[in-house]
Structure 1
Amino acid sequence: MDATWILRLDAVGDGPRIAVKDCMDVAGTPSTVGCRVIAADALPATLDAPVVETARRQGARIVGKANLVELCRHADGINPWTGTPVNPLDSARVPGGSSSGSAVAVAEDEADIGYGTDTGGSVRVPAACCGLVGLKTTAGRISTQGVFEFSRTLDTVGPLARDVAGAALGMAMLEPGFTIAEPPTGTPPPLARLRLPDVDPALDAAIDDALRTAGLQTTDVRLPQWRSWITAAKDLASAEGYWAHRHLLDRSEHLEDRHAGGIRQGRDFTAAQVLACRRSGRAASAHLNALLDRFSALALPTLAFEPPRIGEVRRGSMTYLTAPFNLAGLPALALPVPRGAGALPASLQLVGAAYTEESLLALGAHVEAALAANRR
């Protein structure tokens, strides 16, 4: 069984091939969300989700519904029911999730672009695990209508691709007319190099080397609020996820235990606690956007450690460096950084101010080109 796909589709034409995460409506097909309970009752969608419809209008070919973690609820990529897509860089390691199939389809050249959702890192983490480019978009920029809801505050849709140009094409399929910004003239403002505890020193070093290779100036920045932002993002996803998924608990024996438990964890949050989490998100957004008035972007790794081996995943830790940017609603780009023979690539995460995906991809293209030139 090819665990990359829930459903393959015949797609005629010569437009870009898109793998759609099986939580987005594609007319004529059901969305299972990788879940037996939902699959048992799922009917074929009557309409495409707007993100799919927009892509089709521009000539994109929808080549299948890609596998995912059940209910989009974890970042490891593992799904015991539908199977776990195989990480093409190392089959013993997780592919990352929850947009696991979208990532693997692109990495294996079965699609040019993968559409995924990112609630706490679910586009960037599989990009990091599979050596891809992945873009988490600004909250509210891309429609989530017709997309399975996990957290209405945190959910976003974004592209995965093999390079920055592919990610830009993916954005243009989502938002007609989208183009990468022109490179800035003169010396660009420095990047804020976020320094956070509990990051593998070898990955931090790889990120620093990549930024130096690209000729980018950096200023170290520390954020003492980081762990409180992680807690707020986790609690908000838990509370909103309970309201979105609580009906599934009637058949919880057919859910993976960790997901049934995750849904239950959200039921005790009060309205006041949810509002406090949203206030924390607004504060995080204001703080980071103010920081980005002084810097061209924030830079840090996407993962704090190498992709874990299957069976060794530490719950929650794979989104340690990604979830606060969902809380703040900011765009974030994951970009592979080669580390030499035998080593898995690191992943550089670049974060911009709200609605600056054009500039963020331009910066990513600059780094990508510099790293490629350095390898020649």
Structure 2
Amino acid sequence: MVIDATWLLRLETDGDGPRLAVKDCIDVAGTPTTAACPALMDDPAPAAADAPVVETARRQGARIVGKTNLVELCRHIDGINPWTGTPTNPIDPERVPGGSSSGSAVAVANDEADVGYGTDTGGSVRVPAACCGITGLKTTAGRVPTHGVVEFSRTLDTVGPLARDVAGLAVGMELMEPGFRQADASGVPLTAARLRFADVDPGIDTSLDAVLAAAGVKTVDVTLPEWESWVAAANDIMGAEGYWAQRHLLDRPDLLEERDVESIGGGARIKAGRVAECRRIGLAARSRLGELLADHAFLALPTLRAEPPRMDDVRPGMTYLTVPLNLAGLPAVALPVPRTDGGFPASLQLVGAWYAEEELLAAAAVLEAAVAAR
């Protein structure tokens, strides 16, 4: 039963461990996993076991305070769900909270949880973090197990934490991966390829550049003409894999949003040859970004090209700067940055090498300190 737009289920917990909010596409033993979709709510059998990321958190004393709302079946980035309600953006209630991990982001931003678990297939941790003024980490593809997680796109799905600051992300990583430790920042080189895009709000770019300079990050501007093809390839892989994962739900179209009936069915029209082509494009993206990461410790770019849209003016394209990184499998942090012109906070996306979350969080902490010092 939905109890408010942020939480689908509240849980009573004891202890003094970190408060953990779990996106309701991740199994928590004894509770149903609904992905905020009536077609799954119609058969509310409780999960028999915790997903591995929940099991490891329990072992370390985390208090699971509830299951959070999301966009139906993790399929959209705006955070809007007509069935279960839309969590309220904590910065501007007239704007979208971002999705699909909307409830986890809002719960963290409102200090109802210390860490939120989200999933990120095309930006679903980083975009709600950007919309809600908090931090979020998309993990390296394959680093964190996705067993016990409602499948959307098998090769692009990842699980990652949301928190109010970088220290909270480190806590979230340790809950998922016992023994995780953020690297010592003194040993992390602060160099970055600054990825440039023509259609980014100039106020966002100016704000990010100011923080990078204040943190002492040495940057080199880079443009990537291939980016558009990477966006298209990632979206087509997502569509094709999403069809095979969720096609059975088309038997109950009355219990799906119309846009999800269309998006699931649309995946069937993506041919195997196109998927193979997209895989080759993905390998090329990994190679090109790997070359950049061989010359620079990190990549730096915005999370969003513009302010989060208002609820009545949602347009496609919010994953334009995030989804190619899913295609390449790279880890990326979204970090809030005040705008120099006083507008809605910007979000910096810092991208590290594969399986280098320890160093990535160390660099993000340096940037966060530079923001605090301004």
Please tell me the TM-score bracket, short chain as reference.
over 0.9
User: Residues 37-83 of structure 1, C-alpha deviation per residue, up to 9 Å, x if partnerless?
Assistant: 11101310010000000000000011000000000001100001000
For residue 312 of structure 2, give the secondary structure of its aligned residue in structure 1: coil
Summarize the alignment of residues 167-246 of structure 1 with structure 2, pairs less than 5 Å apart: 167-185=169-187, 188=189, 190-246=191-247
| 2:190–2:363 CA contact under 8 A, matched in 1 | no
For residue 243 of structure 1, give the secondary structure of its aligned residue in structure 2: helix
Instruction: Give the superposition deviation at 1:271.
Output: 1.9
User: Residues 166-203 of structure 1, C-alpha deviation per residue, up to 9 Å, x if partnerless?
Assistant: 000000000011111112449x3521000012111111
Instruction: Find 1:81's aligned residue among 80, 83, 87.
Output: 83
Q: Find the aligned partners of 2:359 and 2:313 in 1 and give their Cα distance.
A: 37
Instruction: Give the superposition deviation at 1:102.
Output: 0.3
Instruction: Give the superposition deviation at 1:270.
Output: 2.0
The CA RMSD measured in Å over matched residues stands at 1.2
Q: Which moved more, 1:160-169 or 1:193-202?
A: 193-202
Q: Find the aligned partners of 1:176 and 1:124 in 2 and give their Cα distance.
A: 23
Q: Find the aligned partners of 2:233 and 2:32 in 1 and give their Cα distance.
A: 33
Which residue in 1 is equivalent to 2:333? 333
Which residue in 2 is equivalent to 1:357? 357
Percent of aligned positions with the same letter in both sequences? Answer: 66
Instruction: Give the superposition deviation at 1:311.
Output: 1.6
Q: Find the aligned partners of 2:168 and 2:249 in 1 and give their Cα distance.
A: 37
For residue 170 of structure 1, give the secondary structure of its aligned residue in structure 2: helix
Point out 4+ residue stretches in structure 1 off by more than 4 angstroms: none
Instruction: Give the superposition deviation at 1:11.
Output: 1.1
Instruction: Find 2:6's aligned residue among 4, 7, 16.
Output: 4
For residue 283 of structure 1, give the secondary structure of its aligned residue in structure 2: helix
Which residue in 2 is equivalent to 1:163? 165
Instruction: Give the superposition deviation at 1:341.
Output: 8.2
Instruction: Find 1:53's aligned residue among 52, 55, 63.
Output: 55
Q: Which moved more, 1:267-276 or 1:106-115?
A: 267-276
For residue 347 of structure 2, give the secondary structure of its aligned residue in structure 1: strand
| 1:4–1:104 CA contact under 8 A, matched in 2 | yes
Instruction: Give the superposition deviation at 1:259.
Output: 1.1
Q: How many residues align?
A: 372
Which residue in 2 is equivalent to 1:43? 45
For residue 294 of structure 2, give the secondary structure of its aligned residue in structure 1: coil
Q: Find the aligned partners of 1:82 and 1:203 in 2 and give their Cα distance.
A: 32
User: Residues 103-148 of structure 1, C-alpha deviation per residue, up to 9 Å, x if partnerless?
Assistant: 0000000000000000000000000000011000000000000000
Which residue in 2 is equivalent to 1:289? 290
Which residue in 1 is equivalent to 2:254? 253
Instruction: Give the superposition deviation at 1:342.
Output: 5.2
Instruction: Find 1:29's aligned residue among 3, 24, 31.
Output: 31
Which residue in 2 is equivalent to 1:142? 144
Q: Which amino acid aligns with 1:322?
A: T
